[in-house]
Each structure stands twice: as C-alpha cells, then as structure tokens.
Amino acid sequence: MPLLPFKPLTFFVYRSLKLCGPNAVDDLVARSARNNRAAGVTGLLVHDPVHFLQFLEGPMEAVGAAVLRIAASDLHTDMTNLACEPTDMRLFSDWSLRAAALDGRGSAIADLADSLDISDPQGCILRLRSYALQVA
C-alpha cells in the first residue's frame, strides 16, 4: 500500500502590543475566525489590556498567509515571535479562533513571555502549550 505523504501542521505563537479597544477586538476575532475557517487554521487569541498573545495551527502555507495578514494590521505593533514549529496535533481543533480576555491582568502576558528561556526552545513550547490550555 502506498504511504500517504505526511504533511505536518505548523504551530506558531507570537505576542504583540495592542493598539485598539474591546470593540475592535470583537470585530477582528470575527473576521479572523472567518478567514481561519476557510483556510483550515485553528487557534487561540489571548489578550490583556496591553497585549495580544496568539496561538495558530494549521497547514504551513495557511498559517504563513494568516501571519502576513496579522503582521499587516495596524491594530497592534511590536510582534514578537515566540514559537514556530511543526506539530502533528492540534490543541484548538474545535476553534477557528477562540478569544480569551485576561481583564485586569495587564502583566500576565508580559510575565509569560519574559519567563520563556529562548535557549531552550522545547521548554518554551511546552510552557506555551500548557499556558494555552490553562487559559483557553
């Protein structure tokens, strides 16, 4: 029997600084979820009053296209890539884009990002995955 080609998914995480208020966030989540549904991308957008932290997963080309749209948006700035790696399972398979607001905890995302040890990429991924499952 011929083997099916193995197509790994891409798992991508970044954080950025918010330049918009709650109404704009609702709107962008609705639009982004529509794009993601059409492209086979799933994910989680965590936000506190100051930051966005977004987890995306899907076929590499589709995640890449979403990242270009995200980077072009003037609703945020200072995008910092925290993880980008192949994966074979989705964490958010039920959500085109789930949103989680961390109201009143403006330091939560900064604390998480600061606590990542970039010399240990696998440790970063594990920490990001467990954080995502905790807040989702």
Ligand X SMILES: Cc1cc2nc3c(=O)[nH]c(=O)nc-3n(C[C@H](O)[C@H](O)[C@H](O)COP(=O)(O)O)c2cc1C
Q: Is 93 helix (H, G, I), strand (E, B) or coil?
A: coil
Residue 69 vs 105, nearer CB to ligand X: 69
Residue 13 vs 28, nearer CB to ligand X: 28
Residue 95 vs 131, nearer CB to ligand X: 95
H helix runs in 40-107, sequence order: 60-72
Residue 108 beta carbon to ligand X: minimum distance, rounded to whole angstroms: 16
- Please give, one letter per residue, the 3-state secondary structure of 21-39: CHHHHHHHHHHHHHHHHHH
Residue 119 beta carbon to ligand X: minimum distance, rounded to whole angstroms: 27
Q: What is the DSSP letter of 75?
A: T
Residue 94 vs 117, nearer CB to ligand X: 94
Residue 67 beta carbon to ligand X: minimum distance, rounded to whole angstroms: 8
The CA distance from 16 to 54, in Å, is 9
> Which H helix or E strand runs over 47?
strand 42-47
Q: Which residues make up the interface to ligand X (CB under 6 A)?
A: 28, 31-32, 35-36, 43, 45, 52, 54, 56, 66, 69-70, 73, 75-76, 97
